[in-house]
A and B are shown apart, each in its own frame.
Chain A
Amino acid sequence: MLDKTGIAKRIAKEVQDGYYVNLGIGIPTLVANYVRDDIEVEFQSENGVLGMGPFPFDGEEDADIINAGKQTITTLPGASFFDSAMSFAMIRGQHVDLTILGAMEVAENGDIANWKIPGKMVKGMGGAMDLVASAENIIVAMMHTNKRGESKILKRCSLPLTGVGCVKKVVTNLAVLEVTDKGFKLLERAPGVSVEEIKKATEGTLIIEGDIPEMSL
C-alpha cells in the first residue's frame, strides 16, 4: 500500500518532457518533488505564474509571489506572471498538458466530486471546475477508501459534482486505474496489494484483464 508520498511518486512518472503541468493542493503538490530531473517541465499555478520553483529561503519570501495555495514560492529562469483571465485561458484553451488534482469521489463514467459536502461548510471550488472541464489529461490523486473503509471509487458520485466525464486516470494508495467506457480498468497494483484487496475496495465496475503488474516507483 502507498502513502501520500508514494502516490505522488507514482504520478510523477506520468509527467513527460515538455509538459506544462497544473498541480492541485495536497498530494498533487508533492508530485513536483519527484519528477525526473532529466526532463523539462513547467508548473503552472492558476493564480498567475508559470515556471514555479521551490519555496524561498527563510527571509527571502515575497508577499507578491505566491501559489494557488497562498504559499510563498520562487520562480525559475523562464518564468512568467499573468492575470487570472490569461491563466484560465491557458487552462480552458488546453495549453496546459496535464492536470493533477485530488478528489473526494470519482465514478466509472469519469465524473469527479471534490468541492462540497452537503451540510458542511463549503469553501468553494476555486479553479477546480475550470480545470476538470477543460483539461484533456486529468490524473486524480486520492485514497481508495474513506476513513470508514468505504470505497471512493464509485459507480456514480454521491457528492455534488465538480465535473462530468472528465477523469482519465486515478492513482490511489492501492492501484492505478484507467477510466474507460466500460468502467475502471485496473492497470497496476500498489506494492504488496492483491487484486482481491483492490476489488473489495472498489465499488465501481472494475475491469481486470490478465496479470496485473505491481507498480514500480
Chain B
Amino acid sequence: MINKKVNSVSEATKGISDNMTFMLGGFGLSGIPENAIAALVKSGVKGLTCISNNAGVDDFGLGLLLHQKQIKKMVSSYVGENDEFERQMLSGELDVELIPQGTLAERCRAAQAGFPAIFTPAGYGTEVAEGKETREFDGKMYVLEHAFKADFAFVKAWKGDAAGNLVFKGTARNFNPCMAGAAKITVAEVEELVPVGELDPNQIHIPGIFVQRIFQGEKYEKRIEQRTVRTRE
C-alpha cells in the first residue's frame, strides 16, 4: 500500500504559491473542499486561477478567497450567488471565463484521462465557440475544447483511506471525481479517513492512484444553499 496520508491541512497544501491554477470540486456549496479552502485563505496565496463550477457565496466556499482578493480568474459555468464576485467582475478586478457545465466536467476528465482536447456540440454557434476550431462529424457541428492544465486539484469525498481511495456521498460527488488526477497534485479531504482495507474494493469511486495526498478534514459545516422542505400532511 502506498501511503498518501498527510497529518494536517497545511501539509496537504504544501507547495501552493501565487499565480497557480487550482481545480476545486463542488456544486454550489455541496461537496466543496471546505478545509483546503480555509487553508488557502489562511496562506494568503494570490493571483489564483480557480476552476470550479461555482464561486461560492459571499461568506462561504470560494467567496472566502474572493473576499481576500486572492483570485485573479474564475473558470466556472454559473456564478450567480455572490455579491462580492459581481462587484469584482463588474469593476474588472476579476477575470471570468464562463463555460458550459458539461464542457467544464469533460475538460477536467480529459486532463485526468490523458486526452489533449475533446470535441463537444455544446456552445456551437454561440459566443462560447468564438475563435475555437470546429468540425463536422456525421452532419453535426462540434467545438474543440482543450483539457485543463492545473497545479493542484482540491477534492472532497465522504470516506477515504490512506491509499487514497475515495467514496462519495449523494450529489456531493459532482465534479470531485472528474478533478481527481486532473492536476499535477491532487489533494483529497474526507469526512472520515477509515483504516486501509475497510473500504470494499467493489465500491470505491476513485482509486487511490489519482490522489497524491489525503487527510481527514477537521470539521465540515456542509452549508445548505437553498433549504427546501415540504410539510407533513
Residues of chain A having any CB pair with chain B under 8 Å: 45-49, 54-73, 81-85, 87-88, 91-92, 111, 121-130, 133-134, 160-165
- Whether the pair B121, A48 counts as a contact (CB closer than 8 A) is no
Chain A residues with CB below 8 A from B78, complex form: 123-126
Residues of chain B having any CB pair with chain A under 8 Å: 27-31, 53, 76-81, 86, 89-90, 98, 100-106, 108-109, 120-128, 158, 168-178, 205, 222-232
15 contacts between A and B (CB under 8 A): A47-B28, A54-B230, A57-B230, A70-B28, A70-B225, A72-B226, A81-B171, A83-B177, A84-B53, A85-B106, A85-B177, A88-B102, A129-B126, A130-B100, A134-B121
Chain A residues with CB below 8 A from B232, complex form: 57-58
Give the shortest distance, in Å, between B92 (CB) and chain A (any CB).
14
- Whether the pair A126, B228 counts as a contact (CB closer than 8 A) is no
- Cα–Cα, bound, A46→B128 (Å): 20
A123/B121 contact (C-beta < 8 A), A84-B174, A85-B108 known? no
In chain B, what residue has the closest Cβ to A75? B170
In chain B, what residue has the closest Cβ to A165? B125
- Cα–Cα, bound, A69→B125 (Å): 26
A interface, by DSSP: helix, strand, loop or mixed? loop
A64/B100 contact (C-beta < 8 A), A125-B78, A129-B122 known? no
- Cα–Cα, bound, A88→B109 (Å): 12
- Whether the pair A83, B126 counts as a contact (CB closer than 8 A) is no
- Whether the pair B76, A88 counts as a contact (CB closer than 8 A) is no
Cross-chain contact of B173 among A58, A60, A62, A83 (Cβ < 8 A): A83
Of A69, A111, A129, most B-chain CB atoms within 10 Å: A129
- Whether the pair A160, B225 counts as a contact (CB closer than 8 A) is no
Cross-chain contact of A81 among B105, B170, B230 (Cβ < 8 A): B170
A129/B173 contact (C-beta < 8 A), A66-B27, A121-B90 known? no
Give the shortest distance, in Å, between B97 (CB) and chain A (any CB).
10
- Whether the pair B174, A48 counts as a contact (CB closer than 8 A) is yes
Chain A residues with CB below 8 A from B168, complex form: 81, 83
Chain B residues with CB below 8 A from A84, complex form: 27, 53, 101-102, 104-105, 174-175, 178
In chain B, what residue has the closest Cβ to A128? B100
Give the shortest distance, in Å, between A158 (CB) and chain B (any CB).
14
Give the shortest distance, in Å, between A206 (CB) and chain B (any CB).
24
Cross-chain contact of B172 among A64, A122, A126, A164 (Cβ < 8 A): A64
Give the shortest distance, in Å, between A138 (CB) and chain B (any CB).
13
Of B169, B178, B229, most A-chain CB atoms within 10 Å: B229
A64/B79 contact (C-beta < 8 A), A85-B106, A130-B103 known? no
- Cα–Cα, bound, A61→B223 (Å): 11
- Whether the pair A92, B122 counts as a contact (CB closer than 8 A) is yes
- Cα–Cα, bound, A133→B108 (Å): 20
Cross-chain contact of A122 among B98, B228, B231 (Cβ < 8 A): B98
- Cα–Cα, bound, A73→B28 (Å): 14
Of B77, B101, B177, most A-chain CB atoms within 10 Å: B101
